[in-house]
Structure 1
Amino acid sequence: MNQNKLQSLMLCLLFYSNVSVYPVTPETIHIIISEDKTMLSEWEIPEELTLDTLESKIGTHDRTNETEDSIKYIWDHLGIVAKFSKNSKFLNKLTVFYATTLKNEEPKQNFKGKMNFFSSDPNQKVEATYKGWICRFKLGNRSLYGICKGENRNLEQIDILSK
């Protein structure tokens, strides 16, 4: 009986440690962007987001890239980068990468999850405009910016949160 309890405890610990390392998998991450909020796998991302809170939702970052005034936390396995200025504990920019050129400040893998724009108004459409490589997606009063390349204006990266 004691051995069964010990085995059950060990299995629970292994399961819990696995879940806490990567609470979301790259394929199951779902980002929903609406006029007034951004959701990440059923969690509303707060306006003032700390690294600890973000890591509690998507797991520990894989690596960092530090400059004179900012630190980028990179989730290679998710295709996500969070930028914080060195003089603030709150997020400056959260970027999702659909294409990477393997620069040091970019994730090693592309975002494999889902991203949707959602409006409470069924007549509201996402308005997309392009100027060179820069693309803007407008939903109501909210604008998101990204990099779109090629004739088809393929989305390479988008800032889903930016201050």
Structure 2
Amino acid sequence: MDHRRRNRRRNHSRSGVPSHPLQHSKPWSLLSGLYSFMIMSSLLALIYLMLEYHCKTCTTKCDLTNITRNIDDISKNLSMMKDSYYDLEKKIFKFSQELPKIEGQIDILEAIANTVENKDLGWNAKIFTLPTVEISSNNRLDDNACNFTARQIRNGLKPIANQE
């Protein structure tokens, strides 16, 4: 049996029939070469135009530098908002601690105002008038009245007396 298998392999591989049929090319002509050149050049032009259109649409849609810049701006704004939020939180916390003190002071002021209104301890403009002060403009200052020496400045700014 082994011998038959070997013979089959040999016979099959030794046969003179080619496994692929041979193709003979047509003779080259100028017209067929020109047609081939036109087809290839039109395909290349079409591919070039499609790539150019694709690149234009991609650059307008996906400009990575602008996207990166916008993301950086957004992250900066978010960090500023975060810092502002923490500052606001601290101020609200301080205010909430001071609020009972302020309420206590307001209660004290209201109590004082009520006692002043109920009793005659406060100043009443209808009963008590302000004193009037008379200023006479008859006394005219001399030119030397505003001249001070260094000694007078040390002693309390007394003007120089008239030396007439």
Report the TM-score when normalising by structure 2.
Answer: 0.19
* Bigger proportion of residues as strand: 1
Larger Rg: 2
Q: Which has the higher contact order (CA 8 A, sep 6+)?
A: 1
* Bigger proportion of residues as helix: 2
